[in-house]
Amino acid sequence: MQGYGLYSQEAEEATVGALFLEDGLIKDCTLRPEHFYLARLKRLMTIILQLDAKGKPVDVISVVEEAGHQNLESIGGIGYITQIAGSVPTVANFTFYQDTVLEYYQKRKAIEIAGRIQENAQIGDISRTLREGIQELMQIEDHVGDDDLGEVLPSLVELYGESEKDLGEMTGIPSGFRNLDKLTGGFQESDLIIVGARPSVGKTAFALNMALNAAGQDAALIFSLEMSKKQLLKRMISCKGEISSIKMRNPQRYFGEGDWSQFSDVMGAFGEAKLHIFDQAGMDIGYIWSKVRKARRKYGEGKRMLVVIDYLQLIAGDPRHQNRQAEISEISRKLKTMARDLNVAVIAQSQLSRGVESRQDKRPMLSDLRESGQIEQDADVIAFLYRDDYYYKESDRKDTIDIILAKQRNGPIGTVRLEFMKEIGKFGDLPPGELG
């Protein structure tokens, strides 16, 4: 099928011609007039859609009547309509014709957007230009040809099939911690999980533990807006290999023979793990979304994916918003949309307000989430990290951390206490009988 420039006349005519051949085929068509390049086919498609909306059949006579004699020439006249209607012998290749038209439309839109990016880059703010351009390009990929009719029957069939399987207590991605998984059933796909804590309590260490536990059987993506990839890998090697972080600063000087053995084993394991770390400075939600979407395509729908963001308040927002709270609200909404649309579990770390420090009871609560009540609304799960020995040096609960589950849309809330080995950044289950 020959293409002329950035459109295919044959594909466009074959698509419209097939609509005359089979009654009701228009209902399976995802194309709209704007997807066509040829003006007369745009108009012809508009008329066919009008006929379908009125419950009328699509044939040469009905199209001529709908167009009216005054507008007949704008769609090529009776001869052209008759030619189009008889040009396709079968509808067997309709999907191919339709996809070809969509592909050419995407190319035209991409070139149009690229031209606008090039023009605006010379005269406007480059960050805003790139951000808006990426968003527009994402919309082309995500929404062109969307034929979702919102039907529930396929989901009901899938739900029935799942109900016949014993999924056990673990229905999501395991955290690796017995009592936490009992509360949550694992991190569920399409959920947005917010993990909040004050600085230096252990947010990053907790995030890395989650990612390490997921990267074995499942896939884990880490978006680090504060630390470099090498820094994170050092901390993860320290955790996984149980090597002191002090030794990791200068292995050549401080490593013993056992440390080198552990180091080598962990390096080999990481090389095979489904682990991805992104540390680009100033990343925005469009960048994060594009990387997650690419990973989803790579691993397919059958592979569970955990996305960790460290941390939410460092994501670049849209400068068009008048204040940071509005920016954070939009980022929160888009993270939840990403989790749902790409079917991934998203753990987003969040800073807490200084209000925690001024209270006698330092345990975090929902009102401590910084800058936006929207975060609380969007999140499916909200967990806070609390260390008693962080505030009280004489605490009898040293080397432990409380995971306070303050919100869980589809499950109970509660508190789980874990061991926290600060020297290696590792969390672990406490022995039975202790809080958890």
pLDDT over threshold 90, residue 380: yes
pLDDT bracket for residue 95 (50, 70, 90):
confident
Q: Are residues 218 and 351 in the same domain?
A: yes
Residue 86 falls within a domain, yes or no? yes
Report yes or no on 37 lying in a domain.
yes
**Residue pLDDT, tens place only, 9-22:** 999 999 999 999 88
Q: What is the pLDDT of residue 1?
A: 43
Q: Which of 131, 146, 161 is the last residue of a domain?
A: 146
The pLDDT assigned to 436 comes to 47
pLDDT number for residue 4 = 46
Which of 77-81, 119-123, 223-227 is predicted least confidently? Answer: 119-123
- In Å, what is the CA distance from 19 to each residue of 77, 94, 96, 99? 18, 9, 14, 15
Residue 155 forms part of a structural domain: no
Q: Domain for residue 434, yes or no?
A: no
Question: Residue 405: what pLDDT?
Answer: 92
Residue 362 has pLDDT above 70, yes or no: yes
Query: What is the model's pLDDT at position 160?
Result: 61
Tell me, what CATH number does 274's domain have?
3.40.50.300
Please indicate, yes or no, whether residues 141 and 173 belong to a single structural domain of this protein.
no
Task: Output the pLDDT for position 141.
Answer: 62
The domain containing residue 63 runs over which residues?
Answer: 1-146
Residues 394 and 262 in one domain: yes
328 found inside a domain = yes
Domain count, the chain: 2
Average pLDDT, the chain: 83
Beta bridge partners of 426: 421
Share of residues in the chain with pLDDT > 90 (%): 16
What pLDDT is recorded for position 2?
Answer: 44
What is the rounded average pLDDT of the residues 187-212? Answer: 88
pTM of the full predicted structure? 0.63
More confident residue, 343 or 434: 343
Tokens of 287: 């960048």
CATH number of the domain at 75, please: 1.10.860.10
Shared domain check, 120 and 35: yes
